[in-house]
Amino acid sequence: MPANTIGIDDFFWDVPWGRVPSHRLSVMTAEAPHCKPGLLGGSSKLAALAAKRRKEREEAEAAASKCNSESEAALAMLDKLTVRSKVGVATSFHDCSTQAARPSRISKYPIRRRSSSPQPVIPEEETSMEVDAPQQAITTDTPAQRASASIFATTLFGPCQEKTAPEAQLQAFRAPYSRYREYDSSKPFAEPSPDDIVRAAQAKGTTPKEKKKRKKKPHTGEISESVEKLVLDESKVKSQNLDVVAEFEKSDLKRIANFVVIGHVDHGKSTLMGRLLFDLKVVDQRSIDKLRKEAESIGKSSFALAWIMDETSEERSRGVTVDVATNYFETEKSWFTILDAPGHKDFIPSMISGASQADFPILVIDASTNSFESGLKGQTKEHILIARSMGMQHIIVAVNKMDTVLWSKTRFDHIVKSLTAFLTEASFSEKRITFIPLAGLTGENVTKKIENSAAHWYAGKTLLEAVESIDLPDRNMKKPLRLSVADVFKGDMRSPLSLSGRIESGTLQVGDVILALPSNQTATVKAIEVRDSPADWAVAGQIPTLHLTDIDPIHLRQGDMVCAPQAPVKIVKAFTSKLLAFEHVLPMPVEVFRSTLNSPGSVRTLSAKLNKFTGEVVKKKPRIIKPGEVARVVVELERELPIEEGMRVVIRERGRTVGAGLMENVA
């Protein structure tokens, strides 16, 4: 049965090749280009083979000569026979004798005889080869003279094939593992051998250990910088495509209301709100005791409740509110957001920002002697005008510090009469004005009825009851999205950029794409928080916190407008406004406030003076607008800002509020 052809690489394919040092490796070199491994070799064996073949040739020649002699004897006997034979027989005998006699003849080309097996021709030079003489290398030009392969060699290497390989390829045998692809990229001797590992381990025992140097702890600033540089791969947020209006209607949420606390400085706004939160258990007694202890340490023990709202060190050291403070509380019927606005005249822009996010104001009045009168000449009047300019229809007047006047009904009636006249002049309806006597420091008539017998004359509502019963404006949920950015800040690693502000119209949900103006950059709403709690959506009237992605922080700042990309707000640099003058107005530089936005600008043109009630033109191109008059003016801004028709604007000049109005169209 013929054996299958197996190459040397295939035969040794499963031989393990370990990590053997290079100096222990050997190279297999072929001594003859025509010979494959496993054949007979050596001078002694070749000599024996030549002698054996020479002997066989001599025996063959002897057998041939014997056959010739026998043929001649037979011919002699035939000559003596006298019996006639047929011609064919004689002829055949004659031919036989002729053929038998041919080898003995001297001929240049002797006739070959058929033998049982072919006899290989051995050159005469091999007969003279000495037995112990070393074998010399045979070149590729000399024909290969070799014996037939043995059965073992045939089984191992296959049938013998006559191939003449180039000398360069026969110098060494290729290792069988080198035929695999892994061998090309692998480095079997790149790592130390087992002996090297043992020597290295032994060397460690003889060498002394070096003392480890203590690593210096990185500075906290370096840690914070490295943390800020970390960037997480953010997966894109997908919108749930909710019908937010339908979700809001079937959610059965409590009524949502936002109110701003306004009034002159030091009239007790923050203290009153602190008492309200404490009585409603939003702040516990332990926190109040801690705040009272801190306030006593700087000689301001009466400011403990105010510090619930005033949380910054600047506000606590100065004793005044600097920025709008925000807090929340809940009743059985409603959710409320408190916006505590500063009362100092230097912080009127912050007060405007807070008032623009509210549904109604709570005006705090100090009932103590001379405080009411001084406040009315100060920021009380300006705050009332700004609140009305923001479109607020209802107002609650909290007459504070009534305990300092022993709950005098006369003092209370005087304040009510004076303020009612001014509020109605500022376009507030008398039916929508509510006066509440109370004492914020002691908590009387804040959440509970007055127990002091001196206040027996009052049987009206508490402050909490008045807040819960006030009417709220309609929510414009079905209009395009409009959100005024009140604050922009960096969140945690999951929310690197966040903003907060009141939704003036429309709705929002997680996954929505929004457009920020005037930068004209889009962002994706990654998460929403309402009242510091996660939410899937937000509606008009709420003040949510939006965690954004896909936008750079440089494209967002306070006062920007967030809207739907399908219905953007126009970017304008000049517009026409219907303005109500609080002071004298003429072409002059001014500051323009729109919700949380303020920008330098100027009153460029006084187009016409209008009738206050009908809106008809009374006089064209007047030179000046007096306090209380209504006019159509052209306002120009230093830079383009997002303002659209119907938005309310406030105009201030040199720290005074000189007018407020509505935008009519682009100039």
Looking at the structure, tell me whether residues 272 and 341 fall in a common domain: yes
The boundaries of the domain holding residue 646 are: 571-666
Q: Assess if residue 149 is contained within a domain.
A: no
Of 599, 649, 660, 655, nearest to 627 (Cα)? 660
Looking at the structure, tell me whether residues 657 and 558 fall in a common domain: no
Which is more confident, 640 or 72?
640
pLDDT at 88: 45
Looking at the structure, tell me whether residues 375 and 324 fall in a common domain: yes
Ramachandran assignment for 518, one of left (phi > 0), alpha (psi -120 to 50 degrees), beta (any other): alpha
pLDDT at 526 over 50: yes
Q: Assess if residue 406 is contained within a domain.
A: yes
**568/295 Cα distance (integer angstroms):** 49
Looking at the structure, tell me whether residues 316 and 399 fall in a common domain: yes
pLDDT at 475: 87
DSSP 20-70: --GGG------S-TT--TTS--SHHHHHHHHHHHHHHHHHHHHHHHHHHHH
When computed from its CA atoms, the radius of gyration of the chain, rounded to whole angstroms, is 57
**265/375 Cα distance (integer angstroms):** 8
Of 446, 533, 539, nearest to 255 (Cα)? 539
Looking at the structure, tell me whether residues 329 and 446 fall in a common domain: yes
pLDDT at 51 over 90: no
Strand-pair category, 433-437 with 395-400: parallel
DSSP 211-268: PPPPPPPPPHHHHHHHHHH--PPPPPPPP----HHHHHHHTTPPEEEEEEEE-STTSS
Distance of CA 231 to the CA centre of its chain: 7
- Of 469, 500, 522, the last residue of a domain is 469
Measured at the alpha carbon of residue 655, what is the angle toward residues 644 and 435, in degrees to the nearest 5? 80
Question: What's the domain count of the chain?
Answer: 4
Q: Is 468 exposed, middle or buried (0-12, 13-18, 19+ CB in 10 A)?
A: middle
**622/615 Cα distance (integer angstroms):** 16
Distance of CA 651 to the CA centre of its chain: 43
Q: Assess if residue 215 is contained within a domain.
A: no
> What kind and span of H or E run contains 98?
helix 87-101
pLDDT at 128 over 60: no
pLDDT at 217: 54
Percent of the chain with pLDDT over 70: 71
Looking at the structure, tell me whether residues 302 and 401 fall in a common domain: yes
**Residues 416, 421, 426, 431, CA torsion sign:** positive
pLDDT at 76: 57
Q: Is 345 exposed, middle or buried (0-12, 13-18, 19+ CB in 10 A)?
A: middle
| pLDDT-based confidence at residue 145 (cuts at 50, 70, 90) | low
Give 287-303 pLDDT, tens digit per residue: 989 988 988 888 887 78
Of 28, 6, 25, nearest to 17 (Cα)? 25
Q: Assess if residue 176 is contained within a domain.
A: no
Looking at the structure, tell me whether residues 609 and 551 fall in a common domain: no
Which is more confident, 107 or 380?
380
The residue-averaged pLDDT of 46-75 equals: 76
pLDDT at 423 over 50: yes
**pTM here?**
0.64
User: What 3-state DSSP class applies to 645?
Assistant: coil
- Of 469, 501, 522, the last residue of a domain is 469
Cis peptide bond prior to 518, omega within 30° of 0: yes
| Residue 254 belongs to domain with CATH number | 3.40.50.300
Give 27-43 pLDDT, tens digit per residue: 666 565 555 554 444 55
| Residue 525 belongs to domain with CATH number | 2.40.30.10
Give 223-248 pLDDT, tens digit per residue: 556 555 555 555 677 788 899 999 99
Looking at the structure, tell me whether residues 331 and 417 fall in a common domain: yes
Q: Assess if residue 529 is contained within a domain.
A: yes
Looking at the structure, tell me whether residues 274 and 416 fall in a common domain: yes
| pLDDT-based confidence at residue 315 (cuts at 50, 70, 90) | confident
Instruction: Report yes or no: 306 and 342 within 8 Å, Cβ to Cβ.
Output: no
Tokens encoding 571: 């970017």
**Residues 554, 559, 563, 568, CA torsion sign:** negative
Q: Assess if residue 198 is contained within a domain.
A: no
Partner residues linked to 661 by β-bridges: 579, 649
Name which of 210-214, 335-339, 470-474 the model is least confident about: 210-214
What's the N-to-C CA distance of the chain in angstroms?
Answer: 107
Number of Cβ atoms within 10 Å of the Cβ of 348:
23
Distance of CA 246 to the CA centre of its chain: 32
Phi and psi at residue 566, to the nearest 5°? -75, -25
Give 602-661 pLDDT, tens digit per residue: 999 999 999 988 889 999 999 999 999 999 999 999 999 999 998 999 999 998 999 999
Tokens 């409590």 belong to 254
Number of Cβ atoms within 10 Å of the Cβ of 536:
15
List, in sequence order, the alpha helices (H) in 431-520: 463-469
Number of Cβ atoms within 10 Å of the Cβ of 513:
14
Number of Cβ atoms within 10 Å of the Cβ of 550:
15
pLDDT at 108 over 60: no
Instruction: Report yes or no: 296 and 242 within 8 Å, Cβ to Cβ.
Output: no
**548/528 Cα distance (integer angstroms):** 9
Q: Which amino acid is at 318?
A: R
Q: How many CA atoms lie within 13 A of 534 on its CB side?
A: 4
pLDDT at 82: 45
User: Mean pLDDT, the chain, as a whole number?
Assistant: 80
Instruction: Report yes or no: 638 and 600 within 8 Å, Cβ to Cβ.
Output: yes
Number of Cβ atoms within 10 Å of the Cβ of 549:
17
Looking at the structure, tell me whether residues 546 and 597 fall in a common domain: no
Give 619-630 pLDDT, tens digit per residue: 999 999 999 999
Looking at the structure, tell me whether residues 559 and 577 fall in a common domain: no
The residue-averaged pLDDT of 452-475 equals: 92
Of 295, 275, 272, 299, nearest to 367 (Cα)? 272
DSSP-derived secondary structure letter, 472: -
**466/544 Cα distance (integer angstroms):** 25
pLDDT at 260: 95
Give 316-342 pLDDT, tens digit per residue: 888 788 888 899 999 998 999 999 999
* Residues shown for the chain: 667
Select the highest-mean-pLDDT range: 52-56, 227-231, 586-590: 586-590
Number of Cβ atoms within 10 Å of the Cβ of 171:
11
**147/154 Cα distance (integer angstroms):** 13
Alpha carbon distances (Å) from 179 to 167, 171, 284: 21, 18, 80
Cα pseudo-dihedral 653, 658, 662, 666, rounded to 10 = -40
Alpha carbon distances (Å) from 106 to 109, 211, 465: 9, 105, 152
pLDDT at 361: 96
Q: Assess if residue 349 is contained within a domain.
A: yes
Q: Which residues contact 82 (CB under 8 A, 6 or more apart)?
A: none
Tokens 């929510």 belong to 475
> What kind and span of H or E run contains 657?
strand 656-666
- Of 134, 149, 182, the last residue of a domain is 134
Q: Which residues contact 476 (CB under 8 A, 6 or more apart)?
A: 504, 505, 506, 540
Strand-pair category, 537-539 with 507-509: antiparallel
The residue-averaged pLDDT of 382-409 equals: 94
Q: Assess if residue 169 is contained within a domain.
A: no
Measured at the alpha carbon of residue 524, what is the angle toward residues 555 and 567, in degrees to the nearest 5? 80
Number of Cβ atoms within 10 Å of the Cβ of 423:
20
**287/292 Cα distance (integer angstroms):** 9
Looking at the structure, tell me whether residues 460 and 346 fall in a common domain: yes
